Amino acid sequence: MQPVMSIYQTGDALPRPLYYQAEAFSRIVFDDDEEYDIDLGLTEPAVHITVAQGNLLIAYAAVSWTDLEHAGVQYRCYGLSTVLTFPAFRRRGYGGQMVQAAITLITQAADADIALLWTTPNNIDWYTRYGWRALPALTTLVGDPAAPEVDDEETAMMLFISEKGRAGEPAFEQGRVYVGEERW
């Protein structure tokens, strides 16, 4: 049986065996030494992209969205997160297939202005191959909107999609952007 890429519009549509594997793998990869809320689950609202062989999850990614204000302009921001491929299946193109599918979903969304992800320095070149632009000087703020904290653990990367998004690109290059209580 060949692996198949599937797109699920909500977490409820994602088959439970795949959901649990994605959630468990993300807990392992993104362990931040904080108490993990097992009831919180995967990012929602989101479109879930999987590569699977039956009930065996090979790779997973999520596309989410939010309204984001930056430099006095309101944007519809799409986010790419939790891009994971199980180690035994890496270097076979599954991650790239999911990222390309995510980009297609995002760029075809009528309301998309920008897209944002965060990654470690060793993955910047990989995402750049798919059109993402690294913005190392962009400061991400999270938490209480009245007193946000800087979240500088990873490098922000963006896509500028709409005319409004492309016009705002210079403001993101060295700005500070509040993304909500936490990153996606």
**pLDDT tens track, the chain, 184 positions:** 899 999 998 767 889 999 889 988 888 877 655 555 555 556 667 899 999 999 999 999 999 999 999 999 999 999 999 999 999 999 999 999 999 999 999 999 999 999 999 999 999 999 999 999 999 999 999 999 999 999 988 999 999 999 999 999 999 998 899 999 988 8
> What gap in Å lies between CA 141 and CA 131, rounded to an integer?
24
Instruction: Specify the pTM.
Output: 0.90
Contact by Cβ (8 Å): 159, 131: yes
What CATH number should be reported for the domain whose range is 4-178?
3.40.630.30
Number of neighbouring beta carbons within 10 Å of residue 68 = 19
Q: Burial, 81: exposed, middle or buried (Cβ in 10 Å; 0-12, 13-18, 19+)? A: buried
Q: Burial, 26: exposed, middle or buried (Cβ in 10 Å; 0-12, 13-18, 19+)? A: buried
The pairing of strands 73-85 and 47-53 is unpaired
Number of neighbouring beta carbons within 10 Å of residue 77 = 24
